[in-house]
């Protein structure tokens, strides 16, 4: 086992838990996750942090993918504990292993920052949505202030290596809308308790257009 593999299997899941499983982050998740309806697909399901937040009475079926096997174990365990049957697979967002127009809702939280090709991932999420389907998103990314953008560019090379390819300078809305979505932003702000270069958040609803 190489050092990189060991880090990704043993250390990275703990880093993700520390950053993505806090009560403050959970409160932001509550702004979008309970809006999911019908057949639901979650992009970046690893860790299972969103699962307790769904309105289970409104969800007909649940599926998800994540590239990290260790994080998938946690997601599957949470689904089993809740009695929720779920189709959770290992995979990448650039090639989502589900058919066209399979889902009413796609949920994507804190995931676009770490994929290799965000435009391709957004296109894939649109592909698996039914006509008129909804993408619910919550992401961190490029700050609106030039001073913070400078720090983001400086720190991103090291940050990516430590945090599973997480980028600090990714734009959010400008990546989602061109793929064929109509954005309905819900909120955007600097997250309290973390440095501003790591804390710009945007969340909202994106409706599939053009079908």
pLDDT along the chain (211 residues), means of 10: 62 61 86 96 91 93 90 86 87 97 97 95 98 96 96 95 90 94 94 91 94 69
Which pLDDT does position 116 carry in this prediction?
94
Percent helix / strand / coil, the chain, rounded to 5: 40, 25, 30
Q: Are 69 and 9 in contact (CB under 8 A)?
A: yes
Q: What is the pLDDT of residues 158-186, one digit of tens each?
A: 999 888 889 999 999 999 999 999 999 99
Q: How far apart are CA 123 and CA 131, in angstroms?
A: 14
Q: What is the pLDDT of residues 133-164, one digit of tens each?
A: 999 999 999 999 999 999 999 999 999 988 88
- pTM: predicted TM-score of the whole model, two decimal places: 0.90
Q: Are 65 and 93 in contact (CB under 8 A)?
A: yes
Location of structure tokens 């702000």? 189
Which pLDDT does position 130 carry in this prediction?
97
Q: Smallest Cα–Cα separation from 179: which of 100, 125, 138?
A: 125
Domains and CATH numbers, the chain: 3-208 (3.40.50.150)
Which pLDDT does position 120 carry in this prediction?
97
């Amino acid at each position: 086992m190489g050092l990189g593999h060991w880090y990704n299997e043993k250390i990275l899941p703990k880093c993700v838990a520390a950053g993505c499983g806090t009560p403050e982050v959970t409160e932001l998740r509550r702004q979008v996750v309970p809006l999911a309806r019908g057949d639901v697909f979650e992009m970046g399901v690893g860790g299972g942090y969103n699962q307790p937040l769904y309105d289970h009475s409104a969800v007909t079926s649940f599926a998800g993918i994540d590239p990290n096997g260790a994080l998938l174990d946690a997601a599957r365990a949470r689904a089993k504990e809740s009695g929720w049957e779920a189709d959770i697979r290992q995979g990448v967002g650039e090639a989502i292993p589900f058919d066209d127009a399979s889902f009413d809702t796609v949920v994507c939280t804190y995931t676009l920052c770490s994929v290799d090709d965000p435009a391709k991932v957004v296109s894939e999420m649109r592909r698996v949505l039914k006509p008129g389907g909804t993408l619910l998103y919550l992401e961190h990314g490029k700050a609106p202030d030039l001073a913070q953008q400078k720090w983001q560019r400086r720190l991103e090379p090291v940050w990516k290596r430590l945090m599973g390819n997480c980028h600090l300078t990714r734009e959010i809305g400008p990546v989602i809308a061109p793929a064929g979505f109509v954005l309905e932003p819900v909120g955007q702000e600097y997250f309290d308790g973390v440095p501003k270069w790591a804390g710009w958040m945007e969340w909202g609803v994106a409706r599939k257009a053009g079908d």
